[in-house]
Copies of this chain bind each other. A is one copy, B any other.
Amino acid sequence: MLVVMKAHASPEEIQAVCDYIEKLGLRAHPLPGAQRTAIGITGNKGEANRGNLEELSGVAEVIRVSKAYKLASRDCKEEDTIIRFDGTNASIGGRDLAIIAGPCSIESREQAFAIAEKVAASGAQFFRGGAFKPRTSPYAFQGMGLEALKIMADIRKEFGLRIVTEALDNESLDLVAEWADVIQIGARNMQNFSLLKRAGKKRMPVIIKRGLSATLEEFLMSAEYVMSEGNYEVILCERGVRTFADHTRNTLDLSIVPAVQQVSHLPILVDPSHGTGKRDKVLSMARASIAAGADGLIVEVHHQPDQALSDGPQSLYPEQLITLMSETEAIAPIVNRSLVHGIKLTATTRS
């Protein structure tokens, strides 16, 4: 259910409605919009007894949301969600495109800084690097953990790049939340509901990568898990699905970009590195992603891909990242977007 407040409802009226909802044993999710605030109502108890919500002061109407996802749906919030990062010109969603680049794994301080320098120089606003790696084999390199997080925190200080990194479980989620700017939930954990709920309790942006065989509805339901806990800064990311096709490692399903945008207000990025698994197809698919209307890209970059501990074959060379940025910049206006380069922060970046 959704309570739509009148255009000029006061903060006190909104609070009063929220309090009323909580007293009914339900959960209230105030979602401010440009024109007016909507208050999503969630709860486990099936269709809620709505009490006399409609009669409360400031309430315009009470409507049922028929989709399985509520808070993630455009029914609930009409305007696109834009996630801003204080002290920077970086944002995800809205007019400006977001570019997230970096190595699959942080392998050493030297490697991370060498690549971060190239990423910053390219104009990308975000640095990604794996600290905790979900590897198919228990015997493969599992990531440098906390040490990698500290290196990335130094990269933020040095280059002004915002840090995106994956959390695998409760322990790593708490660490990522402490040290990074954006929590990434990987494709294999897209339906790790326990982890999603934990991410929902944080108050910082969460990127959810689409599972290898996730439908649109399942993808949005995973966002809903995070949002239902009160964290509304959710970003979706297409990264290829599993099919019979063998010319790429996964099949990048770009049609999910307009499909998400039609039914949800959440931003959606594309990861053409995992989406193809092959360096020589990343630039083509990056262009296609932007042209399809994506809100940005996540790409893997490595200065020495042949020596990378993971995902070398799909990592761009730094000069290819430059090309990617200029092609993105060229396509942007055609889809009513712009590409604002990340800038070095003058003041401290994270309190």
Could you mark each residue 242-264 of chain A with 1 if its beta carbon is under 8 Å from any beta carbon of chain B, else 0?
11111110011111111100100
User: Range of interface residues on chain A?
Assistant: 35 or more
CA distance A70 to B139 in the complex (A): 10
> Residue of B at shortest CB range from A258?
B284
CA distance A215 to B216 in the complex (A): 21
A316 to chain B, nearest CB (A): 14
Chain B residues near A193 (CB-CB < 8 A): 134-135, 138, 168, 188
Among B70, B134, B281, the residue within 8 A (CB) of A259 is B281
Chain B residues near A262 (CB-CB < 8 A): 280
With A193-B138, A284-B292, A288-B292 as contacts: A241 and B251 at CB distance below 8 Å: yes
Q: Is the CB of A255 within 8 A of B242?
A: no
CA distance A243 to B188 in the complex (A): 18
Chain B residues near A327 (CB-CB < 8 A): 334
CA distance A240 to B73 in the complex (A): 27
Judged by a CB distance under 8 angstroms, whether A330 is at the interface is: yes
Among B168, B191, B275, the residue within 8 A (CB) of A194 is B168
Of A149-157, A221-229, A295-303, the one contacting chain B is A221-229
Q: Is the CB of A258 within 8 A of B244?
A: no
Among B42, B212, B285, B291, the residue within 8 A (CB) of A255 is B285
CA distance A60 to B335 in the complex (A): 50
Chain B residues near A117 (CB-CB < 8 A): none
With A169-B194, A194-B169, A287-B335 as contacts: A253 and B251 at CB distance below 8 Å: yes
Q: Is the CB of B292 within 8 A of A244?
A: no
Chain B residues near A255 (CB-CB < 8 A): 247-248, 251-252, 275-276, 281, 284-285
Chain B residues near A138 (CB-CB < 8 A): 42, 193, 197, 221, 224-225, 228
Judged by a CB distance under 8 angstroms, whether A199 is at the interface is: no
A189 to chain B, nearest CB (A): 6
Chain B residues near A43 (CB-CB < 8 A): 139
Judged by a CB distance under 8 angstroms, whether A52 is at the interface is: no
Judged by a CB distance under 8 angstroms, whether A170 is at the interface is: yes
Judged by a CB distance under 8 angstroms, whether A304 is at the interface is: no
Among B44, B191, B245, B287, the residue within 8 A (CB) of A216 is B245
Judged by a CB distance under 8 angstroms, whether A348 is at the interface is: no
Judged by a CB distance under 8 angstroms, whether A345 is at the interface is: no
Could you mark each residue 36-64 of chain A with 1 if its beta carbon is under 8 Å from any beta carbon of chain B, else 0?
00000011100000000000000000000
Chain B residues near A197 (CB-CB < 8 A): 138
A-B contact pairs, 9 of them (CB 8 A): A42-B138, A44-B141, A138-B221, A169-B194, A169-B195, A243-B243, A251-B251, A251-B253, A257-B284
